[in-house]
Structure 1
Amino acid sequence: MDDNLKKILPYALFYRKNIVWNVVFNVLYAVFSTLGFVMIIPVMNVLFGEEEKVTKLPKYEGIWKLKDYLSDTLYYYINHLTEVKGAEYALYLIIGIIIFIFLLKNLFGFLGLQHLMKLKTGVLRDFRDKMYDKIVDLPVSYYSEKRKGDVMARMLGDVNEVQNSFFAILELIVKEPLTIILTLIAMFSISWELTLFVFIFIPISGLIISKIGKSLKSQSTRAQQENGYMISVVEETLSGLKVVKGYNAEGYFKRIFNESVNRLYVLTNKIGKKNNLASPMSEFLGIATIAALLIYGGTLVLQDGTLSGGAFIGYIGMAYNILTPAKAISKASYQVKNGSAAAERVFEILETPNAIEDTVQSKNIESFNDKIAIKNVTFSYNGEYDVLKNFNLEIPKGKTVALVGQSGSGKSTIANLLMRFYDVEQGELLIDGTNIKYIKLVSLRDQLGLVTQDSIMFNGSIADNVRIGKLNATDEEVIDALKIANAYEFVQHLPEGINTNIGDAGGKLSGGQKQRISIARAVLKNPPIMVLDEATSALDTESERLVQDALEKMMANRTSVVIAHRLSTIQKADLIVVMNRGEIAEQGTHEELLTKNGTYAKLVSLQSFES
């Protein structure tokens, strides 16, 4: 059994009732499908006047003689009707029975497909839930190495491929094989000599089809990877559309996209050619076998007389009845190869270990009472170079500590570690003496509020975006938070107030407006510790004044870690830490650092000159 199929089975077994009913209805479908073609024989015999003369109603003598009992019973009524009302009435009886049998066959086929549909859509739903849970749970570091478009392709396209491909196996292992087996049994009971031709056809067909599909899985994997890359290009183009247009780079991105589309076009055609070849190849081999049957069977009818004309025509119908399930099996085997390649990509994400998650030792913290301590912390991204080197810092409760320094000095890394987006490699980060690795993530982040340089907005109303800080907040609480963040001033004049939609990524708002909405979100959360990562660096002077005023209101009587680029915004901080290449160059209050006339004084002088 395919390893990926084994991994899917637990999801499918949740819908075991649908599986059981699908199997039951598929068995009945196969039985009535075979029986329908068997009934052609008495029709032909009536037409040719070759029906058996049964004049006495037979008695049931057990399961082993069921075939003879049913056959003799049918011929008894055919003879009776022929004698009483004429042969045409006997023909009407048999045709009526055939119509009823095919009605039941198609009814059971429909019911089987209904249960298969519920199974497929149910597993698809569960897969998507599981994938989204995993995508959200994986740490930020995972997405620094992965293309978001590729993750989206796995979530959408590959999961769909698994649904469409793997569940063809239920048809593959029950409905179609059973139809073939029952038909072969019926054919064998009519003529074992002719049936040998069919047994020769099946392995030859399987061998040829397996040769054609040998490389299908690897090509499917490459096609799915290319599809992920193509979606990434679209996602990046839309995210950076202003840059694309501003630099007249439309042609460059169109070329990248077209190259990806062309590669996908070539791969899809190769895969499609092999998929499309399976059905006509199996049908051609089947027709070739039927041609051989016509030649050999015709000899048995015309020369030997060992086979009646009616039985021979019914036999040919049964032989042709094998072709449809044989084609379905060959097509399903191709789909399974596609599904296996897609499942590998899905399970690659589902089975990715989460480096940052709660452990047995993790515990909740109810409040923040003393201090944050960073002790001997060394950290690097992907082990390339140390961003922080043996870093030490204490942040007492109720104090504002500002981190300043050149780009790349490690300021934002401290925010990432404090929020536990990444884990420290050496040393430890403590809150009230407890290593944050042993604090439950939800509990840790309940104590922290975050305002970043890039104000992350979601497509929805202003109220929806603010309520991320407190999901059950009332409209009054949202408005109070907006007032503290100096945002209600502009929100109240919008067409629908706090219920105004702000567009994708907040595209209908200015940078300063988005930043104040972001601050309102943090105000509504009301955490004891606030982390501000260059919250004013991208704003104009007027917006900066409003945002800075909002920040000062928010930081009052609160522990704050402020990462600042503009030094004018952190002059009131209790402690300013100047960083250089992952180490502390100097620290003190604004006045103390100016007196030292060191790195900080030079930065203040430089920014004053620029102003």
Structure 2
Amino acid sequence: MDDNLKKIFPFVKPYKFHVIWNVIYNILYALFSTISMLTLFPMLEVLFKKAKVISKYPIYTGFADIGSYVKQLLFYYISDLTKVNGPQYALLLAVALVIFTFLFKNLFNYLASYHLMHLKNGVLADLRIKMFDKIIDLPIPFYSEKRKGDVMARMLGDINEVQNSFFSILELVVKEPLTIVFAIIAMFNISIKLTLFVFIFIPISGYIISKIGKNLKAKSINLQYESGFLISLVDESLGGLKVVKSYNAERSFKNRFNDSVSRLLKLSNSIGNKNNLASPMSEFMGIVTIAVLLWYGGNLVLVEKTLDGSLFLVYMLLAYNILTPAKSISKASYAVKSGMAAAQRVFEVLEVENEITDKPDAIVKESFEKNITIENINFRYEEENVLKNFSIEVPKGKTVALVGQSGSGKSTIANLLTRFYDVQEGSIKIDGIDIKDMTMNSLRHLMGLVTQDSILFNDTIKNNLLIGKIGATDEEIIDALKVANAYEFVKDLPKGINTNIGDAGGKLSGGQKQRLSIARAVLKNPPIMILDEATSALDTESEKLVQVALENMMQNRTSIVIAHRLSTIQKADKIVVMKKGEIVEQGTHAELLALNGTYSNLVTLQSFEQ
């Protein structure tokens, strides 16, 4: 059994009721599919005036002879109706029997489909929830290696493929095979010779169809990976559209997209050709079998006279009735291979081990009392250390600024404090407790983060701020906006705090977006604030407004400020100067200037006015 099939079972388990009823109704459908063909025999007998005359009510002798008993009982009623009311009433009975058996066949088909629909939709919903939970829970490092578009393709396209294709397996193992089995049993009862003849062609057909489907799963996996790449390309192109246009790079991006579409087209055509060939090939093989049966069976009827003509017609209908499920089996087997490939990509994400998790005995830290200590940290993203033997202490209520050139490891400190990444050597402690010994929820509850990139969502200002404090009142939101120096522009918007700000806050300026990010942190009201180059992307006027907002926010709070612009950290209680992951200087603004070292050089470079 395929491993991916085993992995689907836990998702199917809550819907076992629907699975059981689907199987039951599929069995009944298969049974009535054969019975509906057999009921044509008495109708043909009446039409050709060859119906057996049975005047005595048949006696039931046991389940083994139930077929003979039902047949005699039917002809008894036909004989009785013909004798009393004429052949037209006997024909009416035969036609009514055909109608009722076909009615039940299609009713059971509908009920089987009804339960399969609930199973497929239920598993789809559960898989989506599980997948989204996983992609939200996975740590930041996972997404530094994966394309967002590929994750989206797995979340949307692959899970849909599992729903559309994977559950064809229920038809593959129950509905269609049983339809064939019941038909063959009936065919054996009509003529053993003819049915043995059929068995010569079934293995040949199966072998040819299996050869056509070779390598289908591998190609399906490649197709889905290419779909993920295509979605990534669209996502990145739209996200960086200003850069694409300003550098006249439209042609380059179009070429990359066209190349991906070409690869996708080639794979889709290859898979489509195999899928399209399966059905006509299985039908052609079936028709060849039917043609041979017509020749051989015709001889039994016309020459040897060992088979009744009406029975031969019913036999041929049963033989032809095998073709539809045979085609469905070949199509379903191809669909299952595509479903397996899609399931493999879904489970690749679901089975990723999250290396940044809470310890089983992690404590809930509800308050911040004394200090943050970073002790002898060594950290690397790949091979070379980004931080080397790094140690600082941040007392409660103080502001510590980290400055240095790009690549000196400043932002890495923010990533480690919030446990977006885990330290490899050394420790980070809050009030003497290692942050790895706390629950991540309680750790992050103590912290507010304002990053260089103002991360806002396509929603109202109010809902963007409520992320900071779910259930906050409008008054609390307005107060936070005032502290962040943002209410001055929010109150002038058409709908105030209920104004939609567009995709990623696209309707606002950079300074306005950053002040909303600060307002969100203010609303959260955490004891520790981490500012990761919060003003570096702003113009001078916006920077002044944001700087006032930051100063308002940092009052009576413990703050760690990562700054590129030195004008923003003059009032810090301690400034830590970093170079290539190490501390080279630390002290107040005045003390560092007096040293006339690295910090003084940075100030001079930025034309800092004392």
TM-score by length of 1: 0.99
What residue number does 2:487 align with? 488
Helix, strand or coil at the partner of 2:379: strand
Whichever residue aligns with residue 483 of structure 2, its letter is I
Q: Distance in 2 between matches of 1:45 and 1:308?
A: 10
The yes-or-no answer on 1:394 pairing with 2:390 is: no
Residues 59-103 of structure 1 show CA distances to partners (whole Å, capped at 9, x for unaligned) of: 222212211111011001111111222222211211111011101
Could you tell me how far apart the structure 2 residues matched to 1:609 and 1:569 are?
A: 11
**In 2, Cα distance between equivalents of 1:409 and 1:313:** 86
**1:214 alignment counterpart:** 214
Aligned positions, number: 610
Residue-by-residue CA offset, 1:97-143 (whole Å, 9 max, x unaligned): 10111011111101110110010000000000000000000000000
CA distance in 1, matches of 2:609, 2:190: 99
Q: CA deviation at 1:493?
A: 0.4
CA RMSD of aligned residues (A): 1.1
Could you tell me which residue of structure 1 aligns to residue 458 of structure 2? Answer: 459
Match of 1:19 in 2: 19
Offset, 1:47: 2.0
Distance in 2 (CA, whole Å) between partners of 1:90 and 1:342 is 55
Determine the structure 1 residue equivalent to 2:547: 548
Query: Equivalents in 1 of 2:81, 2:304: separation in Å?
Result: 31
CA distance in 1, matches of 2:89, 2:294: 31
Secondary structure of 1:388's match?
A: strand
1:345-424 → structure 2 map (5 Å cutoff): 345-381=345-381, 383-424=382-423
C-alpha displacement of 1:305? 1.4
Deviation for aligned residue 1:384 = 2.7
Quote the Cα distance in structure 1 between the aligned partners of 2:166 and 2:3: 12
User: For the residues of structure 1 that align with 2:351 and 2:303, how far apart are their CA atoms?
Assistant: 67
Equivalent pair of 2:19/2:119 in contact (CA under 8 Å): yes
For residue 304 of structure 1, report the CA deviation from its aligned partner.
1.5
Residue pairs, 1:62-211, within 5 angstroms: 62-211=62-211
In the TM superposition, residue 287 of structure 1 has moved relative to its aligned partner by 0.6
What is the CA–CA distance in structure 2 between the aligned matches of 1:235 and 1:568, rounded to whole Å? 36
1:129-159 Cα distance to aligned partner (Å, 9 max, x none): 0000000000000000000000000000000
For 2:242, the aligned partner's letter is: K
| Rounded Cα–Cα distance in structure 1 between residues aligned with 2:244 and 2:184 | 65
3-state SS, counterpart of residue 167 of structure 1:
helix
SS in 1 for 2:336: helix
Aligned match of 2:325: 325
Whether the 8 Å contact between 2:567 and 2:608 is mirrored in structure 1 is no
Tell me the distance in 2 between the aligned counterparts of 1:196 and 1:30: 21
- Residue 610 of structure 1 deviates from its aligned partner by 10
Q: What CA distance in whole angstroms lies between the structure 2 residues aligned with 1:174 and 1:425?
A: 54
Query: Counterparts of 1:220 and 1:359 in 2: how far apart (Å)?
Result: 39
Judge conservation of contact 1:43–1:310 (CA < 8 Å) in 2: no
> Could you tell me whether the CA contact under 8 Å between 1:30 and 1:182 is conserved in 2?
yes
1:260 and 2:260 equivalent? yes
1:301 & 1:257 partners in 2: Cα distance? 65
Shift of residue 363, structure 1, vs aligned partner: 1.3
Deviations 1:340-381 (A, max 9, x none): 111111000000000111121311101111111111111111
The whole-number CA distance in structure 2 between the counterparts of 1:53 and 1:59 is 16
- Which residue pairs with 1:296 in the alignment? 296
Q: Which amino acid is the alignment partner of residue 228 of structure 1?
A: G
CA distance in 2, matches of 1:503, 1:333: 45
2:511 corresponds in structure 1 to 512
Deviation track 1:195-236 (CA, whole Å, cap 9, x = no partner) reads 112222222111111111111011111110000000000000
The whole-number CA distance in structure 2 between the counterparts of 1:236 and 1:548 is 31
Task: Report the Cα distance in structure 2 between the residues aligned to 1:358 and 1:201, rounded to whole angstroms.
Answer: 61
Q: Given residue 588 of structure 2, which amino acid in structure 1 is its aligned partner?
A: T
- Equivalent position SS for 1:101: helix
* AA partner of residue 362 (structure 2): S
Q: Is the 8 A contact 1:209 1:278 kept in 2?
A: yes
Superposed CA deviations along residues 370-407 of structure 1, whole A, max 9, x for unmatched, are 111111111111x2311001111111111100000000
In the alignment, the residues of structure 1 paired with residue 27 and residue 337 of structure 2 have an alpha-carbon distance, to the nearest angstrom, of: 25
User: Is this contact kept in 1: 2:362–2:438, CA < 8 A?
Assistant: yes
Preserved contact between residue 577 and residue 586 of structure 2 (Cα < 8 Å): yes
Matched, 1:228 2:223: no
Distance 1:456 1:603 in 2: 29
Q: Report the more deviating stretch, 196-205 or 388-397.
A: 196-205
List gaps (5 residues or longer) in structure 1. none
Contact 1:218 1:341 in 2 (8 A): yes
Output the CA distance in 2 between the equivalents of 1:308 and 1:475. Answer: 87
Contact 1:45 1:309 in 2 (8 A): no
Higher mean displacement: 56-65 or 511-520: 56-65
Distance in 2 (alpha carbons) for counterparts of 1:458 and 1:96: 64
Counterpart of 1:166 in 2: which secondary structure? Answer: helix
The answer to whether the 8 A contact 1:577-1:588 is kept is: yes
Higher deviation after alignment, 164-173 or 226-235: 164-173
Taking only the aligned residue pairs, the percentage that are identical comes to: 66
Instruction: Report Cα offsets for 1:468-489 as digits up to 9, x if no partner.
Output: 1001111111111001000000
Partner Cα distance (1:325, 1:407) in 2: 66
Structure 1 CA distance for aligned equivalents of residues 443 and 197 of structure 2: 72
Checking the alignment, whether the CA contact within 8 Å between 1:457 and 1:505 is kept in structure 2 is yes
The match for 1:313 is 313
The alpha carbon displacement at 1:609 in A equals: 6.3
Structure 2 residues without counterparts, runs of 5 or longer: none
Shift of 1:523: 0.2
8 Å contact kept, 1:27–1:174: yes
Alignment partner of 1:576: what SS?
strand
Q: CA deviation at 1:587?
A: 0.2
Counterpart code for 1:182: F
What is the correspondence of 1:30-49 to structure 2 with a 5 Å cutoff?
A: 30-49=30-49
SS in 2 for 1:126: helix
Paired with 2:22 and 2:172, the residues of 1 have a C-alpha distance of 12
What is the CA deviation profile of residues 527-558 of structure 1, one whole-angstrom value per residue up to 9, with x for unaligned ones? 01000000011111111111111111111111
The aligned runs of 1:277-292 (5 Å cut-off) are 277-292=277-292
Q: What amino acid maps onto 1:284 in structure 2?
A: F
TM-aligned CA deviation for residue 3 of structure 1: 0.8
Distance in 2 of aligned mates of 1:448 and 1:148: 27
- What CA distance in whole angstroms lies between the structure 1 residues aligned with 2:526 and 2:206? 66
* Kept after mapping to 2: 8 A contact 1:447/1:528: yes
1:428 and 2:427 correspond: yes
